[in-house]
Amino acid sequence: MKPRRKARVVAFQALFEVDQAGHDPEASLGRRMQEDPVPEAQQAYCRALYHGTLRNLPPLDQAIQEIAPEWPLEQMAPVDRNLLRLAAYELLADASTPAKVTINEAVELAKLFGSDSSARFVNGVLGTLFTMRDQIASKLEASISDALQNRGAHGIAESSQGG
C-alpha cells in the first residue's frame, strides 16, 4: 500500500471508531497508528488529515448534507459518512493533492471498506463537492498545509514529505 493511502486508511479507521464507538479521538488515532504503523514521512499528514476533519465536522457535514439531501447523515452508512468527511476535508484543505487523486483514493477506500454501492455514491458526492469547493473551503478552520507548517495542540509535526 502506498504511504499516503496508508495514512488515509489509518485516519479513516480512527474517524470511524470515534464516530461509531465514541472513543477518545487521541486514543483512537494512537491505537490505530500503533496497530497499523504509518510510514514516518506520512505520520504528520495522517494526523493533520484526521484532526482537520474532526475540527471541521460541522461545515463538512453541512456540505455533504447539502449535496446529498436525500441521505441524512445519521442514516448514511457509517463507512460512507466517514470516508466522505475525510475526503471532503482533503479535497478542500489540501492544495498539494490533486482533486482527481483525492476522489480516486476515496473511491478505492469505499470499494475496500464499503458496500457495493459505496464507491458510486462517494464518487458522486465528491464530484459535486469539487464543483462547490470554493464556497465550502472558506468555512474550514485551517488547511492541511497550515496544520503541517505549525505545530498544533495535537502533536502535528512540521514534516509533510511526499507520498
Residue 46 within any structural domain of the chain: yes
Please check the confidence at residue 162 and state whether its pLDDT lies above 70.
no
- pLDDT range class, residue 163, cuts 50, 70, 90: very low
Maximum pairwise Cα distance, the chain: 40
Q: What is the CATH number of the domain that holds 88?
A: 1.10.940.10
Where is pLDDT greater, at 47 or 153? 47
Residue 163 within any structural domain of the chain: no
Cell of 142: 485551517
Tens digits of residue pLDDT in 1-47:
899 999 999 999 999 999 999 999 999 999 999 999 999 999 999 99
Residue 51 within any structural domain of the chain: yes
Residue 11 within any structural domain of the chain: yes
Domain count along the chain: 1
Q: What are the CA-CA distances from residue 120 to residues 34, 80, 103, 123, 127 (Å)?
A: 32, 10, 11, 5, 10
Residue 65 within any structural domain of the chain: yes
Q: Alpha-carbon distance 98 to 118, whole Å? A: 22
In the block, which residue shows the cell 514529505? Answer: 161
- The pTM (predicted TM-score) of the whole model is 0.84
Residue 159 within any structural domain of the chain: no
User: If residue 158 lies in a helix (H) or strand (E), which one and from where to where?
Assistant: none
Q: Taking a C-beta distance cutoff of 8 angstroms, is the pair 78, 43 a contact?
A: no
Q: Alpha-carbon distance 92 to 21, whole Å? A: 27
Instruction: Give me the domain span that covers residue 122.
Output: 3-149
Q: Alpha-carbon distance 96 to 90, whole Å? A: 10
Residue 155 within any structural domain of the chain: no
Q: What is the dihedral of CA 45, 51, 53, 57, to 10 degrees?
A: -170
Average pLDDT over residues 110-118: 97
Q: What share of the chain is helix, strand, coil (3-state, %, to 5)?
A: 70, 0, 30
Question: For the chain, what is the radius of gyration of the CA atoms?
Answer: 14
